[in-house]
Amino acid sequence: MKLSEAKQQFISTWGAIGTHWGINRTMAQVHALLMISPDPLTQDDVMAQLNISRGNVNMNIRDLIDWGLVDRVLIQGERKEYFTAEKDIWKVARQIIKERKKRELDPMMKLMDQLSKVDGDKKDKEVKTFLDTIAGIKKFGAHADSMLDVVVKSDENWFISTALKLFK
Amino acid sequence: MKLSEAKQQFISTWGAIGTHWGINRTMAQVHALLMISPDPLTQDDVMAQLNISRGNVNMNIRDLIDWGLVDRVLIQGERKEYFTAEKDIWKVARQIIKERKKRELDPMMKLMDQLSKVDGDKKDKEVKTFLDTIAGIKKFGAHADSMLDVVVKSDENWFISTALKLFK
DNA sequence: ATTAATTTTCAGTAATTACTGAAAATTCGG
DNA sequence: CCGAATTTTCAGTAATTACTGAAAATTAAT
């Protein structure tokens, strides 16, 4: 398989996967393109390679920067902005976990705390089932939260050695 | 807060979260409703409580069954089908991990194997960056795969004790 | 077998989400 | 400052995804 073909396939698959993770296709494709590009690219490069409009590139790159997955790069004597993506996949994964924890898990846990204060007789089957569900989610969430914290703070070697220990 | 209000909020939030995970809002809401319902519900119950059409309920319940998150329940002397959701959140999480691994991670790894066979000189910067990225993803995927297998096969206590050990 | 209850399908439509392209804002060299 | 290069915004539109409702298929009681 030729490089150009392989690139295309990688970008397209990474994009498809993104849609299963609540990320839009194009944003994931821009990320994919930047990951496999040795040198930083401009917005025009991305427009050309993915065949999408300037506005689209601009919005998606900004989102990727917000996610901490892409950085602006200044190049000596160049007026244009260049962009590059983190290439260490472990860092990418940690960054995504960190952000999703902040954006999803933390607010979810806050809500569960609220909901566990629901009025009503705990003998009532309806109330009981509701509270049990909430309690289960809270417990799960707390553990997930701790584990993810560890992962976020870990480096690759820690992760590997821990993973290995788990099988011993 | 009243139970009815709390239920509403739980269903609506669970639905919103689903959209961040590639699950459609309604499917997640049906799942939420079934999780907090002590007794199995019929399609008509779900239609009434969520205010959605019969076809919509039917399709989403079928998907939930495919995901292994909802079961059909036969009730003595009743013609209608009843549905119930797994209430143990650990089982829910394990089931989701198992399915997503099968649906996403496994095919992804297959593709990476393909892509790592790309032609071209490994001294070429373009080729090298591409191959390095793919190799990184493969390595990461292999570890994730192993860890997730362990989690899928584990029970709650195992998970908790392991989590605790990680902090020692 | 008939038929009434129930589930499933799916064409048409609605709702949502994503994209374009051009205008406005910003940046920066001279 | 001025003006050209570049980035950002966003109204309008396109593409995608989800939903409805009624017809078809299935089921099971009689």
Angstroms from B89 CA to nearest CA on chain A? 6
Count the neighbouring beta carbons within 10 Å of the beta carbon of residue A24: 14
DSSP state of B70: E
Highest mean pLDDT, choosing among A43-47, A142-146, B21-25: A43-47
State how far the alpha carbon of A52 is from the alpha carbons of A22, A24, A30, A45, A142, in Å. Answer: 20, 14, 10, 10, 42
Secondary structure class of B56 (helix, strand, coil): helix
- pLDDT value of residue A16: 93
The lowest-confidence range among A26-30, A139-143, B45-49 is A139-143
- pLDDT value of residue B156: 72
- pLDDT value of residue B127: 97
Q: Span A79-92, mean pLDDT? A: 94
Kindly tell me if the per-residue pLDDT of A165 is higher than 80: no
**A53 vs B: CB within 8 A:** no
Asked if the Cβ–Cβ distance from B133 to A167 is below 8 Å, we say no
**A159 vs B: CB within 8 A:** yes
Q: Which of residues 74-103 of A touch B (CB under 8 A)?
A: 87-90, 93, 100, 103
Out of A13, A126, A163, whose CB is closest to B111?
Answer: A13
Distance CA B105, CA A36 (A): 20
Taking the CA of residue A84 and the C1' sugar atom of nucleotide C21, their distance in angstroms comes to 25
Q: Which of residues 136-155 of B touch A (CB under 8 A)?
A: 136-137, 139-140, 143, 146-147, 150
Kindly tell me if the per-residue pLDDT of A47 is higher than 70: yes
Asked if the Cβ–Cβ distance from A104 to B17 is below 8 Å, we say yes
Instruction: State both tokens at A76.
Output: 């000596």
Find the closest chain A residue to B167 by CA distance: A150
- pLDDT value of residue B98: 92
- pLDDT value of residue B146: 86
Its pTM stands at 0.91
- pLDDT value of residue B148: 85
Out of A88, A117, A167, whose CB is closest to B136?
Answer: A88
**B125 vs A: CB within 8 A:** yes
Sign of CA dihedral A124, A126, A132, A134: negative
Out of B7, B35, B130, whose CB is closest to A36?
Answer: B130
The model's confidence at residue A167, banded by pLDDT at 50, 70 and 90, is: low
For strand D, is any atom closer than 7 Å to the CB of A62?
yes
State how far the alpha carbon of B110 is from the alpha carbons of A13, A105, B8, B124, B142, in Å. Answer: 12, 31, 42, 25, 11
Q: Span A46-71, mean pLDDT? A: 97
The model's confidence at residue A143, banded by pLDDT at 50, 70 and 90, is: confident
Q: What stretches in chain B show pLDDT beneath 70?
A: 159-168
Taking the CA of residue B52 and the C1' sugar atom of nucleotide C15, their distance in angstroms comes to 14
DSSP state of A105: I
Asked if the Cβ–Cβ distance from B137 to A162 is below 8 Å, we say no
List all nucleotides in chain D with at least one atom under 7 A from a protein Cβ. Answer: 5-11, 17-23, 28-29
Distance CA B166, CA A90 (A): 19
What's the whole-number average pLDDT of chain A?
Answer: 92
- pLDDT value of residue A166: 60
Kindly tell me if the per-residue pLDDT of A161 is higher than 80: no
Taking the CA of residue A65 and the C1' sugar atom of nucleotide D8, their distance in angstroms comes to 15
Q: Span A149-168, mean pLDDT? A: 70
What is the residue-wise DSSP string for B71-94? EEE--TT--S-EEEE---HHHHHH
Find the closest chain B residue to A147 by CA distance: B163
Rounded CA Rg of chain A: 21
Count the neighbouring beta carbons within 10 Å of the beta carbon of residue B80: 12
- pLDDT value of residue B62: 97
Instruction: State both tokens at B164.
Output: 């605790």
Find out whether B26 and B60 touch, Cβ atoms under 8 Å: yes
Residue A59: which of A48, A49, A47 has the closest Cα? A47
Kindly tell me if the per-residue pLDDT of A160 is higher than 80: no
**A63 vs B: CB within 8 A:** no
Contacting residues of A for B108, CB less than 8 Å apart: 13, 17
The beta-strand segments (E) located in B74-159 are 82-85
